[in-house]
Amino acid sequence: MLEWLSSHWGGFWRSAPENVYSFIWWSILTAIAAAIVYAASLIISYFSPSAVSGKWRERLLVAAIALAIPLIATLAARTTRRISVSIRTWRQTRAAQIELREVRGYLTSTNDPNQRRLYAQLLPRAEAGIEACQGHLLCVWKWHSLNRCWFPTELNQPLDLIWSYHDSAPRNLLPGIYQWLNIFWISNLNQQVTLETNPIPVDSLSILNFTDTFRFDIRVTARNCEPVDISLRVRIGERWDIPEVLEKL
DSSP string, 11-63: HHHHS-TT-HHHHHHHHHHHHHHHHHHHHHHHHHHHHS-HHHHHHHHHHHHHH
Q: How confident is the model at residue 88 (pLDDT cuts 50, 70, 90)?
A: confident
Residues 6+ away with beta carbon under 8 Å from 72: none
Q: How far is CA 185 from CA 98, 174, 177, in A?
A: 24, 26, 23
Tell me how far CA of residue 31 lies from CA of 23, 71, 127, 136, 214, in angstroms: 12, 13, 52, 64, 74
More confident residue, 47 or 20: 47
Query: Is residue 232 pLDDT above 90, yes or no?
Result: yes
Predicted local distance difference test score (pLDDT) of residue 58: 67
The confidence band for 42, taking pLDDT boundaries of 50, 70 and 90, is: low
Q: What percent of the chain has pLDDT over 90?
A: 41
Most confident of 76-80, 83-87, 134-138: 134-138
Amino acid making up residue 100? L
pLDDT, mean of residues 45-61: 61
- What is the crossing angle of helices 20-47 and 2-14, to 10°? 110
Going by pLDDT thresholds of 50, 70 and 90, the confidence category of residue 16 is very low
CA 48 to CA 41: how far, in whole Å?
10
The verdict on pTM exceeding 0.85 is: no
Average pLDDT, the chain: 81
Residue 77 in this model has a pLDDT that exceeds 80: no
The pLDDT of residue 34 is 66
Section 54-60 average pLDDT: 63
H or E element at residue 72 = helix 50-95
Asked if residues 137 and 158 have their Cβ atoms less than 8 Å apart, the reply is yes
